[in-house]
Amino acid sequence: MSLREEFTTAVKDAMKSGDKPRLSVVRMIQAGLKDRDIAARGGEHDGKIPESEILSMLQKMIKQAQETLETATKAGRAEMAENTRAEIETLSSFLPRQMDVSETKAAIAAVVTEIGAAGVKDMGKVMAVLKERFAGKMDFAKTSPLVKEALSG
């Protein structure tokens, strides 16, 4: 089942069960997806962004929600923090299982060997291949230092 189909099913299920917080988050995802589809019109994807970009969008939404959670926690707004935690949980439910550190390091090593990366100057090439292959499965903010370490060591 594609992510688009999962979102549609999630909306129907949330409506049937009366889960308003989940329904709100899934509709927010669909609105973001529609915006990106509109922006992609006339491009190579003919108005529908690929799954990898949808996963990237979800990761950005999670990152924004985590920043909101941090702000709400610092401000002592417990109810807002709880709602944001639920939002993060719903967003995360659509992502594939995240790779752990050892899996990430193995993937980095394989890509470095495959493309013949020689040093830190090739970091962009390595990151591009990783993003293409592991979108949604890797947290690239945490991956970047590991790539730098692999290329400099």
pLDDT in tens, 84-94: 999 999 999 99
Contacts 24+ apart (CB under 8 A), 117-123: 117/151, 118/151, 119/151, 119/152, 120/148, 120/151, 120/152, 122/151, 123/147, 123/148, 123/151
Instruction: Judge if 44 and 111 occupy the same domain.
Output: no
Share of the chain above pLDDT 90, in %: 54
Instruction: Judge if 82 and 123 occupy the same domain.
Output: no
Instruction: Judge if 70 and 114 occupy the same domain.
Output: no
Instruction: Judge if 139 and 77 occupy the same domain.
Output: no
Out of 52-56, 71-75, 90-94, 100-104, least confident range: 52-56
Q: Are 122 and 151 in contact (CB under 8 A)?
A: yes
pLDDT of residue 98: 84
Angle CA 140–143–149, to nearest 5:
150
pTM: 0.76
Instruction: Judge if 78 and 120 occupy the same domain.
Output: no
Instruction: Judge if 30 and 65 occupy the same domain.
Output: yes
Instruction: Judge if 43 and 85 occupy the same domain.
Output: yes
Residue 79: other Cβ atoms inside 10 A: 8
**Which value, to the nearest 10 degrees, does the dihedral of the CA atoms of residues 49, 92, 85, 21 take?**
60
pLDDT of residue 135: 79
- Give the CATH number, domain containing residue 17: 1.10.1510.10
pLDDT tens track for 127-136: 999 988 887 7
The single residue listed with the structure tokens 């690239």 is 140
pLDDT of residue 45: 65
Domain carrying residue 50: 3-92
Distance CA 5, CA 118 (A): 42
